[in-house]
């Protein structure tokens, strides 16, 4: 990611945390959560704002990277260690990330595209990469 993008994301994380998600908690009409993963190479915690969707009691994030042909870094991180931190407006918790597949992925993907049609365009731009649908299961 370019330095300006990193600066923007870092600023969003700071503002989100400072306001409890009241500012920086939504984008393009969708809710944002802060996702904390452990760096696959460094082992250091990395936090990024990610658009999320609800599926029953679970939250779902989409590893679209705006339609890039490669997965976003946060997805590579959670592929190595699926234990993540989640911050939403008024709540922080630990979760386990699971990549949806088959009928579950298709069902969730349809919901996502119905709410945010831009994701259908991302899928077409991804040059054959199936965009991962990641279910965040809250740990008790």
Give per-residue pLDDT as tens, 8-66. Answer: 566 677 788 788 778 777 777 889 999 999 998 999 999 999 999 999 999 999 999 99
Task: Give pLDDT, residue 9.
Answer: 62
Q: What is the dihedral of CA 105, 111, 115, 117, to 10 degrees?
A: 60
Q: First CA to last CA across the chain, in angstroms?
A: 34
Per-domain boundaries in the chain:
3-138
Quote the pTM value: 0.89
Task: Give pLDDT, residue 3.
Answer: 62
Residue 13 corresponds to which tokens in the numbers above?
Answer: 């994380």
Cα 103 from Cα 120, distance rounded (Å): 17
CATH architecture for segment(s) 3-138 = Roll (2.30)
pLDDT digits (tens, 9 = 90+) for 73-130: 999 999 999 999 999 988 999 999 999 999 999 999 999 999 999 999 998 899 889 9
Residue 3 corresponds to which tokens in the numbers above?
Answer: 């330095």
Q: Are 40 and 77 in contact (CB under 8 A)?
A: yes
Cα 132 from Cα 107, distance rounded (Å): 13
Largest separation between any pair of C-alpha atoms in the chain: 39
Task: Give pLDDT, residue 115.
Answer: 94
Residue 137 corresponds to which tokens in the numbers above?
Answer: 């299961």
Q: Are 134 and 50 in contact (CB under 8 A)?
A: no
For residue 117, which phi and psi values (nearest 5 degrees)? -55, -20
Q: Is the pLDDT of residue 7 over 80?
A: no
């Amino acid at each position: 990611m370019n330095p300006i993008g990193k600066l923007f994301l870092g600023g969003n994380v700071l503002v989100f945390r400072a306001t409890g998600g009241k500012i920086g908690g939504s984008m393009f009409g969708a809710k944002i959560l802060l996702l904390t993963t452990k760096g696959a190479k460094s082992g250091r915690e990395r936090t990024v704002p990610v658009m999320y969707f609800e599926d029953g009691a679970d939250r779902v994030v989409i590893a679209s990277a705006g339609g890039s042909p490669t997965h976003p870094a946060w997805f590579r991180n959670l592929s190595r260690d699926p234990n993540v931190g989640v911050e939403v407006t008024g709540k922080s918790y630990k979760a386990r990330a699971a990549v949806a597949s088959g009928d579950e992925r298709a069902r969730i993907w349809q919901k996502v595209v119905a709410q945010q049609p831009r994701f259908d365009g991302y899928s077409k731009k991804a040059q054959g990469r199936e965009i991962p649908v990641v279910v965040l299961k809250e740990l008790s």
